[in-house]
Amino acid sequence: MTLDPSVRDAVLAAVPSLRAFAISLCGNVDRADDLVQETLLRALANIDSFEPGSNMPAWLFTILRNLFRSEYRKRRREVEDADGSYAQTLKSQPEQVGHVEFQEFRTALAKLPADQREALILVGASGFSYEEAAEICGCAVGTIKSRVNRARARLADTLSIESMEDFGPDVATRAILAGSTSR
């Protein structure tokens, strides 16, 4: 098979965002990259079912999300784990995913129900419309909206204690206390 160069470019162009999505889903870079690899293999094996000119990122995200879901379900059957072990994984690997400064946020994100987490990321970070996110998740637009709203409310709840200290207007004071100069 020879890939149409424009298709190949479109796939490659989506990879950075696919990785970011995968990492925020599984909280582990290595697993996320494996998931991306699996997604690409699956996508290219089924490239005929991709309609030229349609939304490549959305198509790839759908595949990745489905792969993640089936793996997640498998894992869940093995270890029934409400919220615990996922968050635990993150805690034990603070350096795994980029900056430590996001650790608190990441942990809070990890505590969200999977449905809400993916909806929030797709809309709030990946930049998909509610309609696209609904398509990716195979649900109604209204469902995505309510998941995003609930996710935001819940994150705000979780982070609100910290927000007094950490996200407050007092960043300058903190910077001085930490002895750090402006960046």
Point out which residues bind another protein (CB under 8 A): 1-3, 8, 11-12, 15-17, 19-21, 23-24, 33, 36-37, 40-42, 44-47, 97-99, 102, 105-106, 109, 120-121, 124-126, 129-131, 145-146, 149, 152-153, 155-157, 159-160, 163, 167
Does the CA dihedral 85-109-29-128 come out positive or negative? positive
132 is written with which tokens? 């696209």
The CB-of-177 to another protein minimum distance in angstroms stands at 20
Residue 82's Cβ-count burial label (10 Å; 0-12, 13-18, 19+) is: exposed
Query: How far, in Å, CA of 3 to CA of 55, rounded?
Result: 17
State the nearest-atom distance from the C-beta of 1 to another protein, in Å.
5
Cα torsion 128, 126, 58, 60 to 10°: value is -170
Q: How far is the CB of 124 from another protein (least distance, A)?
A: 5
Radius of gyration for the alpha carbons in the chain, expressed in angstroms and rounded: 18
Q: Which two tokens stand for residue 117?
A: 């987490």
